[in-house]
Structure 1
Amino acid sequence: MTITPAAVPETPLELTILMPCLNEAETLATCIRKAMGYLERSGVQGEVLIADNGSTDGSQEIATSLGARVLPVPERGYGAALIAGIKGARGRYVIMGDSDDSYDFENLDPFVAKLREGHDLVMGNRFKGGIKPGAMPPLHRYLGNPVLTTIGRVFFGSPSGDFHCGLRGFNRDAILGLDLRAPGMEFASEMVVKATLQKLRITEVPTTLSPDGRSRPPHLRSWRDGWRHLRFLLVFCPRWLFLYPGLILFLGGLFGMGALLTGPAKLGGLTLDVHTLLYASAAVSMGFQLILFWAFARIHGAREGLVPEQPMLTRFLARFGLEPALLTALGLFVLGLLLGLAAVAIWGAVSFGEIGGHGTMRLAIASMTCMLLGLQLAMGAFFIAVLDMVRARR
């Protein structure tokens, strides 16, 4: 889904308080009254906007009767509702929060103050502001949120200490410029990650989380949505998914092959021989493939505007294009072929009968490794060239 900024309204507002809604009749009125009370008390010129995701319990009528504006959003999903709501907001700033009465819409002054100071994204932090008893399941409080937040901070350098706080404020135009697309719960991660990568000004304020006021179970599904957040973080940071594991496998495999190509090696009480050499060769091939996938992901992501360009990779590709890559691939393949011929010659020396020892096997493994690397490099170079052609056509 591509979001483009909506037309500037005739009467600009400073703040839109945005709530996604799917059958929240039990708590919606309370949230709207609190938000309206905040606007009246603070004197902020604003509106309350309900991004309704197809409620069938009368939520729309409740919102309208209390003076909130309702925006129907046919595409289901937490992210889909918020993306449409941000697009339809009339305020310069937007503060979004769940409509289950778990966040305090009467105390938005810290968010507005930070936005007025020029911050683009103001995250709530429930761990600093306080989590009331029963407000957050132990699985989320002690495992899910801390783990995913730590991954986000390590992978992307985000300053946020609570990656998935649902109460957050932002400059509408700045967030629209991120082209957010995730339709599900991972939208929360996408906003923070893209804001960090695009170097928006991010800060956080303490906020309190209370038990929600619903009698039904929440829409959130712990393991399913937790996996979707983790999957997004891994895919959006391919160096952790592809590059680092690939380098470990590739360099470790090369070291193992170098140690075992000439003969067995002792490691403590272990004797490593041709079988270990075979696994080392597999590690080299798998590691190289992962490194290539990292390059593909970085190039495609940068050219789609999802992530910033990697300057080092860009410079390397500018100097080492298709033709040099193909020549290198050809050299590796020829080297592998020569090693294979040497193994065949040794076999021929015994009239193509049984070969004693593992010397021929070592040559065969080295031959196979070189030819595989040559093929992988050639195919990878052609694929990168295809990406360049698609970009040029656009």
Structure 2
Amino acid sequence: MALVADQPLTEAGAQAPAALELTVLMPCLNEARTVVACVDAAHRFLRTAGIAGEVLVADNGSSDGSQAAAAAAGARVVQVPRRGYGAALQAGIEAARGRFVIMGDSDASYDFSALRAFVDALRGGADLVMGNRFSGGIAPGAMPALHRYLGNPVLSFVGRLFFRVRIGDFHCGMRGFARDAVRQLGLVSPGMEFASEMVAKAALGGLRIAEVPTTLRPDGRGRPPHLRTWRDGWRHLRFLLLFCPRWLFLYPGLLLAVLGLGGFASEAAGVLHVGIHSLLYMAAGTVLGAQLIALALLTKWVGVLSGVVPQQRWLQRLSPSLKLEHGLLAGLLLAGLGLLGSAWLTWDWGSMGFGALDPTQTMRVAIPAVTLMILGAQVIAGSLFAGAVHFSWVSSGRGPSE
């Protein structure tokens, strides 16, 4: 029979996961002052809405009796030895028995009695439903001004730009999702950046994402929050940049490479006549651009192998061509062209009896030749590094040899 709301599940009489529609999941670390109120509010919602569900507290090593308080209030408690916000939620998601999961902090900052909009969106087919505190209402004192007017808006803008999702509050702690869909994302971050990883992977994985208003109140813990403004803000931004290396490396690299190569091409075609110093800057732009492009590809490759980043279709299509041998051949070709240019300069110098050279004319060939040799060396080094990473991955037993 279905268990509704205020009847707690026990391990002895647990229902099959398919019998429950909703798990209300709360990560917990020393929240004895507030966890009971949160559990009671969640039970009240489930009872009022007539939803078959459970309240699950993923405790991350509390030392203030939070576990006993939550259990006495009717929650099912799972112990999570691995520390971290993300670690607690990962364990909670694995332990959840509901088809849907709605997660929120157990510090009384979110209203667990007002989850109807989340449930309706999930029932309507959304895989991930984000709360939006800015549209739902932020009570005075609930969010520091630095977070409200700088941190969250900036990180949310970066998230929308990088992952093309229309989410106004990228880091809201209250969100709902289809358990099976999120489990397939392979979430791995143990810390606060887990919140960013969930949205980023959901967007890249093509999950249907919705957003509903939610409110934020001052937490009732009576102590400083676990969140550290600058440390955790940087961790979120760092994760977004590394998770989407095209903005950190690829786009700047392409811009520099296009400017540098475009300048060389214009000079060679006689369209643009520049001085030696300009040629040096073109060479620097080309080399640096190529390096950034290589870093973007390597970062994506390492992320895919480690499971942090899902493999995208374009990478799957290119995989058969991305072999170590192909990279080595390309690098040798570029370096060979540079050596040929250098050899021609030497032959031309010899034809003049190895006399005094005109640096203005000589450098117009020498700079492109040296640039090609550097590019070739970069391609070879990058290919060898990618091959070493792939070999380590295969040797660890985590993937096929080809």
For 2:127, give the aligned amino acid: D
- Alpha-carbon contact 2:187-2:308 (below 8 Å) kept: no
* CA distances 1:301-345 after superposition (whole Å, capped 9, x unpaired): 445554444444544554575555444333322221232234445
> Relative to 1, partners in 2 of residues 1:39 and 1:244: Cα closer, same or farther, differing over 3 Å?
same
What is the Cα deviation at residue 209 of structure 1? 0.8
Structure 2 residue 133 is matched with structure 1 residue 126: yes
For 1:111, give the aligned amino acid: F
- Alpha-carbon contact 1:260-1:274 (below 8 Å) kept: no
Q: Which of residues 172, 188, 210 is equivalent to 2:195?
A: 188
Structure 1 partner of 2:401? 393
> Relative to 1, partners in 2 of residues 1:325 and 1:66: Cα closer, same or farther, differing over 3 Å?
closer
Distance 1:226 1:169 in 2: 23
Structure 2 residue 119 is matched with structure 1 residue 117: no
Structure 1 partner of 2:170? 163
Count residues in correspondence: 382
Distance 1:88 1:330 in 2: 53
- SS of match in other structure, 1:204: strand
Structure 1 partner of 2:279? 277
* CA distances 1:148-195 after superposition (whole Å, capped 9, x unpaired): 111111111123221111111111111111111111111111111111
> Relative to 1, partners in 2 of residues 1:295 and 1:126: Cα closer, same or farther, differing over 3 Å?
same
Q: Which of residues 62, 68, 74 is equivalent to 2:81?
A: 74
Structure 2 partner of 1:331? 333
- SS of match in other structure, 2:200: helix
Q: TM-score, normalised by structure 1?
A: 0.87
What is the Cα deviation at residue 246 of structure 1? 0.9
For 2:370, give the aligned amino acid: M
* CA distances 1:111-170 after superposition (whole Å, capped 9, x unpaired): 112222222211111111111111111111111111111111111112322111111111
- SS of match in other structure, 2:181: helix
Structure 1 partner of 2:70? 63
Structure 2 residue 204 is matched with structure 1 residue 197: yes
> Relative to 1, partners in 2 of residues 1:29 and 1:111: Cα closer, same or farther, differing over 3 Å?
same
What is the Cα deviation at residue 25 of structure 1? 1.8
For 2:70, give the aligned amino acid: A
> Relative to 1, partners in 2 of residues 1:78 and 1:251: Cα closer, same or farther, differing over 3 Å?
same
Structure 2 partner of 1:174? 181
> Relative to 1, partners in 2 of residues 1:293 and 1:37: Cα closer, same or farther, differing over 3 Å?
same
- Alpha-carbon contact 1:25-1:62 (below 8 Å) kept: yes
Structure 2 partner of 1:239? 246
- SS of match in other structure, 2:400: helix
Q: Which moved more, 1:92-101 or 1:377-386?
A: 377-386
Structure 2 partner of 1:286? 288
Structure 1 partner of 2:15? 10
Distance 2:319 2:198 in 1: 30
Structure 2 partner of 1:153? 160
Distance 1:172 1:383 in 2: 37
Distance 1:93 1:331 in 2: 55
For 1:82, give the aligned amino acid: L
Structure 1 partner of 2:5? none
- Alpha-carbon contact 2:41-2:112 (below 8 Å) kept: yes
For 1:340, give the aligned amino acid: S
Q: Where does structure 1 lack aligned partners over 5 or more consecutive residues?
A: 1-8, 267-271
